[in-house]
Amino acid sequence: MSFLILRKSLRSSKVTTQNPRISFLFSYGSPSFLYKTTEAPSGSRRLSHLIPENPIPPSGSPIYRHSFSGIYSNSLPSIKNLSQFRQSPVILTLFRYFGTEAAIQPSTADGLTVEGILASNWTILDESESDWKSHAAAIAQSIHLIKKRLRWKKLVVRLDLLSMELNKPDLWDDPVHAGKISREHGSLMGKMKQVRAFERELLEHIDMIKLAGEENDADMESESLKALVRMRRNSKEKELQAMLAGEQDSCSCYIEVQAGAGGTESMDWAAMVMQMYKMWAQQRGYKVTVVDEMPGEMAGIKRATIKVDGEYAFGYAKAEVGVHRLVRISPFDSNKRRHTSFAAVAVIPIMGDGSTRVQINESDLRIERFRAGGAGGQHVNTTESAVRIVHIPTGITATCQNERSQHQNKASAMAVLQSRVDQLEMARQAQMNAQHTQSLTDITWGSQIRSYVLHPYRMVKDLRTSYEVSDPDSVLEGDLDGFIMSYLSASIDKDEDGR
Amino acid sequence: MRLSFTSACCPSNFSIFTKPSLCTNLHRTVCSSSLSSLPTSLKPQVPLFLRPPVHSATVPDLRNWHDWAKNLASSVGTRFQDSDNGPDSSLLSRELKWLMEDAIEDHSVFSQLGIGNNQTNVRLKAGIEELYNLWKQRIEERRPFQYVVGCEHWRDLVLSVQEGVLIPRPETEHIVDLVADVVSDDEGLREGLWADLGTGSGALAIAIGRILGSCGTVIATDLSPIALSAAAFNVRRYGLQDAIELRQGSWFEPLKDVEGKLAGIVSNPPYIPSDNIPGLQAEVGRHEPRLALDGGLSGMDYLFHICNGAASMLKPGGFFIFETNGEQQCKCLVKYLGNDMRGSFRSLDIVSDFAGIQRFVTGFRQ
Ligand SMILES: C[S@@+](CC[C@H](N)C(=O)[O-])C[C@H]1O[C@@H](n2cnc3c(N)ncnc32)[C@H](O)[C@@H]1O
């Protein structure tokens, strides 16, 4: 165990990590051992990190294996914040170091930790009240929730495991595996650092407020208070982001809607559901493209696929997987009877190039042209160039008919097919790891999740969360975030409690 | 600058547009062509989507037009389909959507079409009057959609087409995939000289020009000056003037200077038997050029002619691929190449299109 106590006097100078005055803290050398403590001239001890500049090894390079990559960046934000000290030497930060990143518990100069704040049960007042304890308690609560959502304890264990893997000398013998490990390590480490930085920021502002109180510096106090309010607002955003911490959550996705049995009424319902998602996606600022659409004979759609492009599209949309039920007086029933219809929704992540995607062999594909009849070739003029691709080993198919050339339809269908095959493979692996008990069909289409009742009363109710609204029109116009957020938080928070 | 085509005796010049000063006497201007009697002017038409948005209409006017057009499309039902395998109303509705995409400058207008009485003006590439006319022609005269908008989306290309130029077919796209396979592991073919016989809009020449190596070039020929002017327009739009040379003439006639030097020949010659022409789908029979469709009594007149020429035009190891009318023509051609022309070619093969119809014959010069 070692301590880092940093004494530094800074007079309102802007300090960045590039500042030569602090860069002496970091010396780069052989990564063979982690750190050493040295006596600083002032008598306090200083930690030098012998760490390469880039903690993630460039792919293929086995030189830096790092169980240590989190350490130095941990101290960066505190140093950044030195700029806020304008008075004589102060003790900046103290934290214990246990050898693993997770064990580092940031605390204030007088030993207050985020846990400590939570335990103090300070009253949380409205944001407009300028009471630092209230702000601090609200932020600490957010941090607690964020950690819960990130499955903090598991994250720590997993990181340790990954670090060990990264330390193995033969790691890069299998570059694909090594790439995967190092990507996951980087991503988890990123999450952990973010939370840690957020915690430290909170504690430093508290330090400063206390200091300002001691030194009667009203300016400094109000500045720090403002910073806390900013953090408090920011924390809500971070709570949301923490819900979307899954590997594919940040991906773009496809949304597919399929009409249930029941003819035109069902197909009309499927079209309404699809419209709902198009509007939801547009309102969120995502780009929407129709990939495939099979219209019903009279009205509506038999099925359709849209591509939703943008950050976290999959993370949010995955909350919509399942069967959606509609109850209304059917406009297609001349006897004005009440009908119940169903539409199934599937959501498929579009994995980035960084992830390992399933290699599809050309010879495993059967490509078919749609609605091709007659002699074809020069005999026929048509703008119909739909293509269906069948992946023979899995039986997965994909169709695209919305592009204007066969070649483009083929490319689009191929992209859908690739994502479906990837999803199947992920599901298969997850099942093998016994992390999921759902069947593969459940993963694709799920069970009934929501009821939309237009008659005899008006209500939309989520069967999973019991979240409900009494204005179906707004929901059908894409106002889905309430449903999505409540489901995401319910599932993730429940999940974590169970462990 | 005047549009002219290099003739066979000026092979070193690979540009489509040549200044009159150089080898003027070697150039035949298209106006003097024997086919100048065709109804369309030889100035290539600019496709709708490339025209400047100099027209405008209010949202309600546009909506009225759209609703009228949509109704007209719906009224067709399966009538065309039943009579000659033409488009049904769902296909026509999709074409209407694409017509709007091409005609309207700012696509965000689409979402406004359903709602509100927004009186703002929408910038258009064709006047609303013309839009009425165009859609009437589409439905009432069965004018092909691609002529209505002046372009065809083919592979990843958007090619300008107009009356007098065959609209490239989706089946033909596959020729490019097969050529890509062949050149991918053969540098001699990749960097060699290719010929596209009967190039029409230039579709094959352009797509192949884009997959060949930096030294690979394509000579594209056609008898039709309208086809060549459309091809020239398309070649220029894709910036391939240096890789593709257009020559006017019948099949191998303008290629005498490159005899025995070709690395590859592709062709989609007219292959419909003459007897079938009257029964063709209205879009094809009434509007597309007969010169591009009619392959003589058996439909194989030009296919045989091209096979015969290929033996002397290809260099040893050179590749050929020809499109045919289907199984019968494919088999007949393979038999002809294997028996009557024994010893000229190897690795003869028949390849099917995505509808499962045997469509292409391929092979290599011995
Ligand atoms: C079926 S079209 C193919 C056009 C284009 N290659 C394509 O695939 O879209 C046949 C083409 O052959 C041309 N053609 C007809 N007779 C010809 C001849 N005797 N010599 C050269 N080209 C000819 C027609 O003008 C037409 O452009």
Boundary of a domain, candidates B134, B149, B164: B149
Please write the tens of the pLDDT for every residue from B173-183.
Answer: 999 999 999 99
Ordered by start, the domain boundaries in chain A are 114-243, 252-497
What pLDDT does residue A40 have?
Answer: 36
Distance from CA of B246 to the nearest CA of A (A): 23
Instruction: Say whether both B140 and B220 belong to one domain.
Output: no
Does B54 map to a domain?
A: yes
The region of weakest confidence among A407-421, B2-16, B124-138 is B2-16
Q: How many domains does chain B have?
A: 2
Does B275 map to a domain?
A: yes
Instruction: Say whether both B236 and B275 belong to one domain.
Output: yes
Please write the tens of the pLDDT for every residue from B222-255.
Answer: 999 999 999 999 999 999 999 999 999 999 999 9
Of residues A274, A277, A327, A276, the one with CA closest to residue A296: A274
Give the residue, out of B5, B34, B165, B166, with the most ligand 1 atoms within 8 A of its beta carbon, to mutate for a pocket test.
B166
Instruction: Say whether both B141 and B205 belong to one domain.
Output: no
Chain B: residue nearest A295 by CA? Answer: B90
Whether A378 sits inside 8 A of B156 (CB atoms) is no
Instruction: Say whether both B83 and B191 belong to one domain.
Output: no
Instruction: Say whether both B182 and B319 belong to one domain.
Output: yes
What pLDDT does residue A54 have?
Answer: 38
Does B190 map to a domain?
A: yes
Whether B146 sits inside 8 A of A377 (CB atoms) is no
Does B324 map to a domain?
A: yes
The domain that holds B283 is classified in CATH as 3.40.50.150
Boundary of a domain, candidates B105, B124, B149: B149
Please write the tens of the pLDDT for every residue from B277-319.
Answer: 999 999 999 999 999 999 999 999 999 999 999 999 999 999 9
Domain A114-243 sits in which CATH superfamily? Release factor (1.20.58.410)
Boundary of a domain, candidates B123, B149, B175: B149
Whether B359 sits inside 8 A of A295 (CB atoms) is no
Q: Three-class SS string for B135-192?
A: HHHHHHCCCCHHHHHCEEEECCEEEECCCCCCCCCHHHHHHHHHHHHHHHCCHHHHCC
pLDDT, block means (10 residues), chain A with 499 residues: 33 33 29 33 35 36 32 34 38 35 73 92 89 94 91 90 90 85 87 92 94 91 93 87 84 93 92 97 93 86 94 93 94 92 92 75 90 84 92 92 91 93 82 51 69 95 95 96 90 58
Residue B33 CA to residue B222 CA, distance in Å, equals 12
Provide the CATH topology of domain A252-497: Alpha-Beta Plaits (3.30.70)
Instruction: Say whether both B171 and B125 belong to one domain.
Output: no
Radius of gyration of chain A (CA): 28
Instruction: Say whether both B208 and B344 belong to one domain.
Output: yes
Instruction: Say whether both B328 and B231 belong to one domain.
Output: yes
Whether B170 sits inside 8 A of A295 (CB atoms) is no
Instruction: Say whether both B170 and B267 belong to one domain.
Output: yes
> In sequence order, what DSSP letters do the residues of A48-116 get, joined into one string?
EEE--S-SSPPTT--S---S-HHHHHHHHHHHHGGGG--SS-EE--B-EE-SSGGG---B-TT---HHH
Chain A: residue nearest B97 by CA? Answer: A402
Q: Which residue has the higher pLDDT, B112 or A346?
A: A346
Does B184 map to a domain?
A: yes
Over chain B, what is the mean pLDDT?
A: 88
Q: Which domain holds residue B296?
A: 153-365
Q: Please, which pLDDT band fits residue B120 given cuts at 50, 70 and 90? A: confident
What pLDDT does residue B34 have?
Answer: 33
Instruction: Say whether both B225 and B332 belong to one domain.
Output: yes
Chain A: residue nearest B174 by CA? Answer: A407
Nearest to B325 among A375, A381, A385 (CB): A375
Instruction: Say whether both B123 and B224 belong to one domain.
Output: no
pLDDT of residue B10 exceeding 70 = no
What pLDDT does residue A423 have?
Answer: 86
pTM: 0.72
Residues 6+ apart with CB under 8 A from B350: B330, B331, B334, B358, B360, B361, B362
Please write the tens of the pLDDT for every residue from B73-100.
Answer: 999 999 999 999 999 998 999 999 999 9
Instruction: Say whether both B222 and B272 belong to one domain.
Output: yes
What pLDDT does residue A7 have?
Answer: 30
